[in-house]
Amino acid sequence: VGGGRPPHILPRITEAQFRTHVAAVHASGREFYATFNTSDLGLREYSAGFLERLQAEVTRLVEIGVDGFVVAIPALIEWIHREYPYTRLSASTFARIRTVAQGEYFLRRGADTLVIEEANRDFRLLRGLAAAGARVEVLVNQTCIHDCPFRFHHLNTSSLASQTDTVDAPWFEFPLLQCGLEVARDPAQMIAGIFVRPEDLEVYEEAGVHRFKISGRNQTTPWIRRAVQAYTARQYPGNLLDILSYVQNRGPRAALQRLDQEGVSPEIVRPLRAALDPLGTMTIDNRAFPKGFLRRI
């Protein structure tokens, strides 16, 4: 099915490590959700044997101890809910929920949690989804630009690249380069982006949101710990990019290193590196935000 992130940016783990991690999550009194949040199955859903392979994959994860799934495609949500009614289902950010009517559709199909990303500053939507009975979850530390024109292509690229049988899967997501260049040209795009500061969580709670998602499964454990601690403390007195998933910088720079390793002509790589240089020194001073920043939007 795929999990919405290409394998080349994720750590490689064994099944034994996975089982140990799930057990540790349960020991702390929490639930473990597996990501089935691809937005594109590459037409595999029309192939013979797809449902059998899907059932085997879900059954294996449930046997390991997975409590729920994060899913984007409505048909998959409906099928998992019918076959495994005791598992919890979250509609992923990849579902791109933009209206209460859309959210209600996912709720009727079996999801109980709706994860919102790009529309996370649309408080009328958030209140409406909460009033409809959803557990609304907001992704807080992503740096996607507002109304991103590359988003649809990026989601599909990530989705298809995350599937193990994809032929010639890309080692880099081109929309990230486009996004990085856009931010380098106009750094104000970062402030206008979709991140939520730790200090502003209470604004969401007033709107009925009590679940907050921290992005970073491709980050190190110390990085994740720092981000979690900042949002738990509801303050971070430094550079916000320390706790935001700053994809515009990390992704393109990794690609440039790969191009160097592959022996691509410096005449091609040098202009890209120069264009992206401003991203490496960018900071967002959290102390400079005016009080009530989010309430002014």
Residue-wise pLDDT tens digits, 151-196: 888 887 777 777 676 666 666 778 888 888 899 899 999 888 899 9
Quote the number of domains for the chain: 1
- The answer to whether 4 and 158 have CB atoms below 8 angstroms apart is yes
Give domain status of residue 30, yes or no. yes
Tokens of 27: 């020991």
Read off the pTM. Answer: 0.88
The vertex-124 CA angle with 121 and 125, nearest 5°, equals: 75
Domain that holds residue 260: 7-296
Question: What residues are paired with 70 via a beta bridge?
Answer: 35, 90
pLDDT digits (tens, 9 = 90+) for 202-237: 999 999 999 999 988 878 899 999 999 999 999 999
| Comparison of pLDDT for 161 and 43, the residue scoring more | 43
Does 181 map to a domain? yes
Q: Which residue has the higher pLDDT, 6 or 74?
A: 74
CATH label of the domain that carries residue 109: 3.20.20
- Band of residue 9 on the pLDDT scale cut at 50, 70, 90: low
pLDDT of residue 178: 87
3-class state of residue 104 by DSSP? helix
DSSP 3-state assignment of 174?
A: helix
The Cα–Cα gap between 6 and 198 comes to: 28
Cβ pair 245, 142 in contact under 8 A: yes
Give domain status of residue 2, yes or no. no
3-state secondary structure of 136: strand
User: Who's near 79: CB < 8 A, 6+ residues apart?
Assistant: 51, 54
Q: Is the dihedral of CA 9, 15, 17, 19 positive or negative?
A: positive
% of the chain with per-residue pLDDT over 70: 93
Whose CA is closest to 93, among 75, 108, 72, 109?
72
What residues are paired with 213 via a beta bridge? Answer: 139
Q: Is residue 283 part of a domain?
A: yes
- The answer to the question of residue 204 being in a domain is yes
Residue 124, domain member (yes or no):
yes
Cβ–Cβ < 8 Å for 182, 228? no
- 267 vs 228, more confident: 228
Residue 1 domain-assigned (yes or no) = no
More reliable by pLDDT, 92 or 292: 92
In a domain, 157, yes or no: yes
What pLDDT, on the 0 to 100 scale, is given for residue 277?
Answer: 86
Would the pLDDT of 51 be above 80?
yes
- AA identity, residue 293: F
Please check whether residue 143 is in contact with residue 246, taking contact to mean a CB–CB distance below 8 angstroms: yes
